Every structure is written in structure tokens, then in C-alpha cells.
Structure 1
Amino acid sequence: MDYDELQSLLSDTDLTAAEAHGMAVAMISVKPNLTVETWLAELSDDAQALPTQQEHLTGWFCLIQKQLNSDAFEFNPLLPDDEEELVNRLMALKQWCQGFLYGLGRVYQQPIRTKDAQEILKDMTEFTRLDVNAEEGEEEEQAYAEISEYLRSAVFVLKDELSSNT
């Protein structure tokens, strides 16, 4: 999976690759058997506006579904490569969290009851407010890596807690 590849597939939408991936992850986490058509409808008001990309986007969706439904824990949030400037990676991390929260809101209509899930969603909401203009340095790189790993783990916690309540 490549961030830039998904970004180019979404060029006809207002979404970034991070937002679209976060949205798909949330939706699949809550509804493991979600159809790709449901996700595609969220990507664009006019699902027919993505005719040439639809096959590739379907492949992406199926891969995300496979990763999340596997016991191998292969999932990672889709973010730009580490060679990308920190400001761009931080922006994508914010967008991934925004997409995740949006996707969750589209498919999960019940109160969040567990304390762990509430804390994770509170943290994700805070991540949407990250200062992307932070100076680049070893400390900031470490913080970015820690947040990325936290999100990876958090998705599995939320998947376990929220998919059993739908």
C-alpha cells in the first residue's frame, strides 16, 4: 500500500489518502462485512464520478478489510513515508484521525460505553488539533512515531470493543 498511489486515485475528490484510509478503517472496524459501495459513497457524492478509479479503490478497500480482519495484526495507518517532511506527515496524521472519526460517526450510532474506547476517541480528537508547524527534530520525530504506533494499536482496541456492539 502506498500513500501517493491512493492520493492519486482520489484526485477527483476533496479527500486526502489519509482521510479516506482513516474513514475506511473506522467503518470496517465497526462493521467487518461492510460493502465497498458504502465506502465509495462516502468518498464522493457522485459514486459514478470515480469510474476509472473504482476498481483500484475496491482493491484498496478489500486489502484494508483483509488486514483488519486478520489475526496477523498487519494493519498500519496509511501515512506518507518517513522521507516526507514532518509537517506533511503530521498533516496526514491529523487527516487520518479526522477521517477515522468521520467514518466512525457514519456507521456507529450508539453511545461509546467503555472507558478505553472513550479515551482513544478523545485522544484521536486531540490529534486532529496537532500543531503541524512544529520544528523538525529528533524529539518531534519520536513523538510522531509514538502517535502512529498508538493509532495502530488503538484501532484494534476499538475494533474489538465497537464491532461487538453493532
Structure 2
Amino acid sequence: MQDDISGWSDWKHNFEGIEEISSPSELHGLLTGVVCVTEAPTRDEWLQILSTLNVPKLDDDALALLEEEANDVAHALAEDELDYLPMLPDDEHFLSERVQALADWCAGVVLGFGLASGHIRANEQELIESLQDVASVEFEETDDDEEGEQSYQELYEFVRLIPVSLSVGRKKISVLNSSLLQNFHSKMKQNIETSDSSNLVEMFTPHRPS
């Protein structure tokens, strides 16, 4: 199967079942949306980004895969050679599964782009809206035919190039200088303040004998 060649098998193995993310394809879309705006996040930055989404800590292999894929995607988007490919199941999977994966991926791109606060340049609003439209697509049994397959391929070829358009010509910022980690730092500050408050309460609350 092409899943092994494309990397989908490893991607699905590492990221399937994360409740906070709809699917592995949505995570790849999120990664892509982020890298349209920022430099490729490091392993530690991925830990912090996922923490803002309340995703449980991933193991080292999964984090290494995220870091490697982010670097690959950043390279593909920077070249403007139309080599970028979404991480999706191959055509041996049911059409319904592939349509849902593509919809999830589109939703992920919009989410990642928004989390990184990518400013929308002229003519890009329409591209974002196109991703949102595909993200809301629902597969029907009547679509499961040759015409439906052709429509899927056309849709796939259209949306896979949108991240290239969003990325090319954009000056990438560091993850640290983006809005990606603002929620993380706010959460850390809140935890510290809560901890300090608890300590103060303990300091000024006498231990009364029972």
C-alpha cells in the first residue's frame, strides 16, 4: 500500500486516538497551517503547542515524527514547486474515509493558521473560505461511484495547493514570537499563581487541633 510510502501508516499509528484532535489528518493540517506562518516548531515547542490544545503529552517517537514532518513541510512550502502533499490515506481506502480525512485536514489547516495568527493577505480570504467549505463536506452513499471518485481527486488537487499559496512570499516568524505559545505561557502563569496562592493560604491558615 502507498500508505507506507507516504508515511500515513506511521502517522496514523502515532496519532490515532487522540481525543482532543479529530483525526491524524487534522493534526497534519494543523501542522501545515502553523508552518505556513512560522518556522518549523522544535520538539519542545510542539510539546507546548499541544499543551495549549490540552493534548496529553506524546511519547518521544511521536514528537520526533512531528518535528521531522514540520521540517519537511516547511521545505516543501518554501520551494513553490507544488511538491507539498497532505498526509492522507491512499486510494485503497474507502472513498468515504478519504473524504472525511480530507475534510479533517482542511479544518486542521484553518485551525493551525489561526492559532499562529497568520494575517490574511489580499485574495487569501477566499482560500481560507474554500478550506472551510471542504471541512464541512459530508459524504453520502450516492457519492460512492466513479463520479464521486473524480470529484474527490479534483477537490484534493485544489485544496492541497492552498497552503503553498498561503506560505509563499510570507516572512516566517519564530514560534516564540507567534501567538502559538501565548496560551501556554498564560496557563503556566495561572498554574504558578494558583500554586503561590495555595502556599499563601497554607502559610496564613493555622493548623487547628482536631
- TM-score tier, shorter chain, comes to 0.7 to 0.9
Amino acid aligned to 2:161: S
| Residues 116-135 of structure 1 aligned to structure 2 (within 5 Å) | 117-134=124-141, 135=143
Q: TM-score, normalised by structure 2?
A: 0.68
Question: Does the Cα contact within 8 Å between 1:26 and 1:100 map onto a contact in 2?
Answer: yes
Q: Secondary structure of the equivalent of 1:132?
A: coil
1:139 aligns with 2:147: yes
Q: How many residues align?
A: 162
Measure the CA separation in 1 of the matches of 2:138 and 2:33.
24
Q: CA deviation at 1:17?
A: 1.8
The verdict on how the C-alpha distance between 1:54 and 1:97 changes in structure 2, with shifts beyond 3 A counting, is same
Q: Which stretches in structure 1 are left out of the alignment for 5+ residues?
A: none
| Residues 68-107 of structure 1 aligned to structure 2 (within 5 Å) | 68-107=77-116
Aligned CA RMSD, in angstroms, stands at 2.3
The verdict on how the C-alpha distance between 1:73 and 1:125 changes in structure 2, with shifts beyond 3 A counting, is same
Question: Does the Cα contact within 8 Å between 1:77 and 1:151 map onto a contact in 2?
Answer: no
Q: CA deviation at 1:164?
A: 4.2
Runs (4+) off by over 4 Å: none
Measure the CA separation in 1 of the matches of 2:165 and 2:80.
13
Q: CA deviation at 1:77?
A: 1.4
Measure the CA separation in 2 of the matches of 1:48 and 1:24.
16
Amino acid aligned to 1:7: K
Q: CA deviation at 1:113?
A: 4.2
1:35 aligns with 2:45: no
Question: Does the Cα contact within 8 Å between 2:41 and 2:67 map onto a contact in 1?
Answer: no
Question: Does the Cα contact within 8 Å between 2:40 and 2:67 map onto a contact in 1?
Answer: no
Q: What is the aligned counterpart of 1:148 among 140, 156, 163?
A: 156
Measure the CA separation in 1 of the matches of 2:60 and 2:171.
34
Q: What is the aligned counterpart of 1:64 among 73, 86, 107?
A: 73
Amino acid aligned to 2:41: T
Q: What does the per-residue CA deviation read over 1:8-38, in whole Å, with 9 as the maximum and x for residues that have no partner? A: 111462332211111111111112x232343
Partner of 2:14: 9
- Which is greater in Rg? 2
The verdict on how the C-alpha distance between 1:105 and 1:118 changes in structure 2, with shifts beyond 3 A counting, is same
Identity %, equivalent residues: 24
